[in-house]
Structure 1
Amino acid sequence: MAILVHRYDSPDRFVAGTVGLPGERTFFLQAREGNRITSVVVEKQQVSVLAEHLDKVLDEVLRRSGPSARVPPAHDKPNDTDPLDAPITEEFRVGTMTIAWDAEIHRIVIELFSNVDSDLTDDEDEADDDLGLSAAAAAALEGSDEVNADEVFVVKITPGYARDFVARAQALVAAGRPPCPFCLQPLDPAGHICPRANGYRRPLFGA
């Protein structure tokens, strides 16, 4: 089966971003190179998992290679805080994600697959013992022959850019709906059915 590849070997930008209000946000991963833009839809949890595994890969590369790896330390404040580039056109929804370190070009390689039919999983209990990655990420280091998809979004980024992606992604995930002060569950834009209020809807703002 032919697969459509959206490839960015030297993107000008690769970020996670959202469209919509808190509680109704759609999450995107987006790359831009020149005038070309590719945007794919992901779940909030996928953004969090991708950021977590990117940090793990970078930390492992730094541990193995030392200063020669030119991997910067993790940081909390992203340099890129701008919104997603327009137009935002959904190419596909992401199923499986894989991560690999390409030592020849000194870059992280991220592969995002659509319509995946695979046994790969992000279960932490099935992590590769050597690298501490999910099974999906570990499989990427050995090749992605097990993954079948209609489309794939391939992005190659430097360690420094990967660290900034992580910082932005983590801030994005944390900037969701505020918690209810009574039950600590996320508040919906129209209000909140608080279990500590016997199931009654508690308004966002008092009268």
Structure 2
Amino acid sequence: MEYSGVSGFVADAIGQPGDRTFLLQFFGDWGRNTYLLEKGQVAALAAGVQQLMKEIDYRVEDVPPAPTLIDEVPHFRIGQLALGWDEDAEQALLTLDSVSEGDEQVVYRVSMEILAAAARQGEASVTSGRPNCERCGLAIDPEGHACPATNGDLRNHRP
């Protein structure tokens, strides 16, 4: 299925750091569609948008704020997402593939302005999580971190 006329797009999380659910949400005349994904996928999407903007030499002076994420049941969990560019329409194509066996796929045609706003918000959401351990790279919980690099020693492993 393909959706055009995207009037809003948000990449954000619901919940507290360490217990967050990451979602993509698209808005248009056809309603609102929500998809579940991993934190790493949001980070990769934000990086991909930055790369696409460089490739097509697109500069955004004033990025409008992305819409507010609405907590609702997602249509499906995203297994794979791909970002492309339709040069003729001057729109980004965001393809979402489901992890389920039904192999559901949806494509969204999004303006660069809307895509840039969602990427900025997604990047901010990803970086606002728990701090990472300098030794092993794993996230540090508020209670501390049993670092594998120090054989579980909790000293100096609290945020």
Q: Does the pair score TM above 0.5?
A: yes
State the Cα deviation string for residues 140-195 of structure 1 (Å, max 9, x = none): xxxxxxxxx52123211112222222211111111111346898752224543256
Q: Which residue of 2 aligns with 1:192?
A: 145
The alpha carbon displacement at 1:39 in A equals 0.8
Q: 1:183 to 1:114 in 2, by over 3 A?
A: closer
User: Structure 1 counterpart of 2:110, which letter?
Assistant: I
Q: Does 1:153 align with 2:106?
A: yes
Q: Work out whether residues 94 and 109 of structure 2, in 8 Å CA contact, stay in contact via their aligned partners in 1.
A: yes
Q: How many residues align?
A: 158
The alpha carbon displacement at 1:108 in A equals 0.3
Instruction: Name the SS of the counterpart of 1:55 in structure 2.
Output: helix
Partners of 1:161 and 1:108 lie apart in 2 by: 10
TM-score, with length taken from structure 1: 0.63
Q: Which has the larger radius of gyration?
A: 1
User: Structure 2 counterpart of 1:84, which letter?
Assistant: L
Partners of 2:74 and 2:139 lie apart in 1 by: 27
Partners of 1:172 and 1:178 lie apart in 2 by: 13
Q: 1:165 to 1:192 in 2, by over 3 A?
A: same
Q: Structure 1, unaligned stretches of length 5 or more?
A: 63-70, 118-148
Q: Work out whether residues 64 and 113 of structure 2, in 8 Å CA contact, stay in contact via their aligned partners in 1.
A: no
Q: Which residue of 2 aligns with 1:72?
A: 59
Partners of 1:196 and 1:104 lie apart in 2 by: 51
Partners of 1:172 and 1:190 lie apart in 2 by: 22
Partners of 2:134 and 2:56 lie apart in 1 by: 42
Q: 1:189 to 1:99 in 2, by over 3 A?
A: same
TM-score, with length taken from structure 2: 0.80
Partners of 1:193 and 1:30 lie apart in 2 by: 35
User: Structure 2 counterpart of 1:188, which letter?
Assistant: D
Q: Which residue of 1 aligns with 2:70?
A: 85
Q: Which residue of 2 aligns with 1:55?
A: 50
Q: Work out whether residues 78 and 96 of structure 2, in 8 Å CA contact, stay in contact via their aligned partners in 1.
A: yes
Q: Which residue of 1 aligns with 2:92?
A: 108
Of Structure 1 and Structure 2, the greater strand share is in: 2
* Counterparts of residues 129-168 of structure 1 (less than 5 Å): 150-168=103-121
More divergent stretch after superposition (154-163 vs 176-185): 176-185
State the identity as a percent.
Answer: 29
The alpha carbon displacement at 1:55 in A equals 1.8
